[in-house]
């Protein structure tokens, strides 16, 4: 394993305990797989599949939705908005907040994660630079939280034109649409149920049809009432719940790019080990200020980077002085060496 970058988040070295933002603006973006880039993809290529997609989250109902999907053994695709005002949180890079935790849970439970832009802007009303900034800003969060960036994108308002597709192709994104709009965002669920039942009936059987649906995890009744109904109806019709990538026959390592190399994501685990292992550095009997603890649960390893995060206790952070900041830097270097030793021990 090669350590190519290092980040320390300790008292005095990083304000507010923020995650490091990674710049993905200059990474290579070669085509991955056979799914076209810069063109509209609106239907599955494999029969009998139901690709549930959820736009505009995460939100306060997303955790409940994940519970429902897990209970029904259903996989889905989430098109994420970065600056999601519904959270009433401007800092989506706060590692203690719900946003990163939900992204990690989505990924850990086998769901696909896609981009829906940073601010849900209408891409046809933006300049090429504006579209690029919307993509890059959200990429920085994905890279920091998950270690990869998606190759699947859904334009906000499903609004795109030739210029949008050109930019998406350059940035290495598939433009994902849908062929079953439930209109759950309108709140008329009787009408929404009609869209679903008529679509399933028109397909006659799961062997002859498949769908990419449009749903939202930002509406309480969509999550609590409508989605469970859709799952039940789909089961009755024999559909298999899949991600968009699966319904297109796209291998899962092509759904994402490595945030450093731009190549197909390696698929290496990003979830921290459950077992906690600590190693202390320092002479016996030394005070806590001269001892460094490496916790595998707060150490994130990706295919290209090793990042060690040491979070001080509140009292320690408040007492940080210029001298202690220098000590933190030395301790941080020791922490990195310990982390590397732990990694090599497992290889």
329 to 136, 155, 297, 307, 315: CA distances (angstroms):
30, 43, 21, 15, 18
- Condensed to tens digits (0 to 9), the pLDDT of residues 295-307 reads 323 333 333 333 3
What confidence tens digit (pLDDT) does each residue in 102-148 have? 999 999 999 999 999 999 999 999 999 999 999 999 999 999 999 99
Catalytic (active-site) positions: 55, 216
Counting beta carbons within 10 angstroms of the beta carbon of residue 261, is it exposed (0 to 12), middle (13 to 18) or buried (19 or more)? middle
Looking at residue 274, its pLDDT comes to 44
State residue 205's pLDDT score: 56
Confidence (pLDDT) at 287: 37
At residue 6 the predicted structure's pLDDT band, cuts being 50, 70 and 90, is very low
Confidence of residue 317 (pLDDT cuts 50, 70, 90): very low
Question: Domains of the chain by range and CATH?
Answer: 1-17+269-347 (no CATH), 23-258 (3.20.20.370)
- pLDDT tens-digit map of 190-231: 999 999 999 998 765 555 689 999 999 999 999 999 999 999
Q: Which residue has the tokens 């709009």?
A: 181
Give the pair of three-digit tokens for residue 145.
């939280």
pLDDT digits (tens, 9 = 90+) for 11-22: 222 222 334 568
Q: Which two tokens stand for residue 33?
A: 């797989």
For residue 100, the surrounding DSSP H or E stretch is: helix 98-108
- Check residue 52 and give its pLDDT: 99
Task: Using DSSP, state whether 287 is helix, strand or coil.
Answer: coil
Q: Which two tokens stand for residue 95?
A: 């590692």
Q: What percent of the chain has pLDDT over 70?
A: 65
44 burial level (CB within 10 Å; 0-12, 13-18, 19+): buried
pLDDT of the residue at 306: 33
Taking only the tens place, the pLDDT of each residue in 67-112 is: 999 999 999 999 999 987 544 444 444 545 678 889 999 999 999 9
């Amino acid at each position: 394993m090669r350590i190519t970058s290092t980040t320390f988040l300790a008292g005095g070295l990083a304000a507010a305990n923020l995650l490091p933002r990674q710049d993905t603006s200059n990474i290579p973006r070669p085509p991955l797989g056979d799914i076209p880039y810069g063109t509209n993809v609106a239907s599955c290529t494999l029969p009998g599949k139901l690709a549930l997609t959820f736009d505009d989250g995460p939100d306060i109902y997303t955790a409940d939705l994940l519970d429902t999907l897990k209970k029904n053994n259903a996989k889905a695709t989430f098109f994420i908005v970065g600056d999601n005002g519904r959270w009433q949180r401007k800092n989506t890079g706060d590692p203690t907040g719900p946003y990163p935790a939900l992204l990690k849970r989505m990924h850990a439970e086998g769901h696909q994660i896609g981009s829906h832009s940073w601010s849900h802007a209408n891409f046809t009303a933006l300049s090429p630079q504006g579209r690029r900034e919307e993509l890059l800003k959200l990429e920085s969060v994905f890279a920091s939280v998950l270690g990869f960036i998606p190759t699947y994108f859904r334009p906000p308002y499903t609004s795109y034109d030739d210029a949008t597709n050109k930019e998406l192709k350059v940035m290495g994104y598939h433009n994902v649409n849908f062929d079953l709009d439930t209109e759950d965002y309108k709140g008329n669920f009787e009408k929404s149920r009609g869209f679903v039942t008529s679509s399933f009936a028109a397909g006659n059987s799961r062997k002859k049809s498949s769908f990419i649906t449009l749903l939202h995890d930002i509406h309480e009744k969509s999550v609590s009432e409508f989605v469970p109904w859709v799952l039940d109806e789909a089961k009755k019709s024999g559909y298999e719940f899949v991600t968009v990538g699966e319904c297109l026959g796209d291998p899962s390592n092509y759904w994402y790019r490595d945030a450093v190399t731009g190549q197909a994501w390696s698929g290496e685990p990003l979830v921290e080990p459950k077992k906690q292992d600590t190693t202390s550095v320092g002479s016996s009997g030394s005070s806590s200020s001269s001892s460094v603890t490496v916790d595998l649960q707060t150490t994130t390893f990706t295919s290209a980077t090793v990042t060690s995060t040491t979070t001080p206790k509140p009292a320690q952070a408040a007492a940080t002085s210029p001298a202690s900041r220098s000590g933190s830097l030395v301790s941080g270097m020791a922490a990195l060496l310990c982390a590397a030793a732990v990694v090599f021990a497992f290889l």
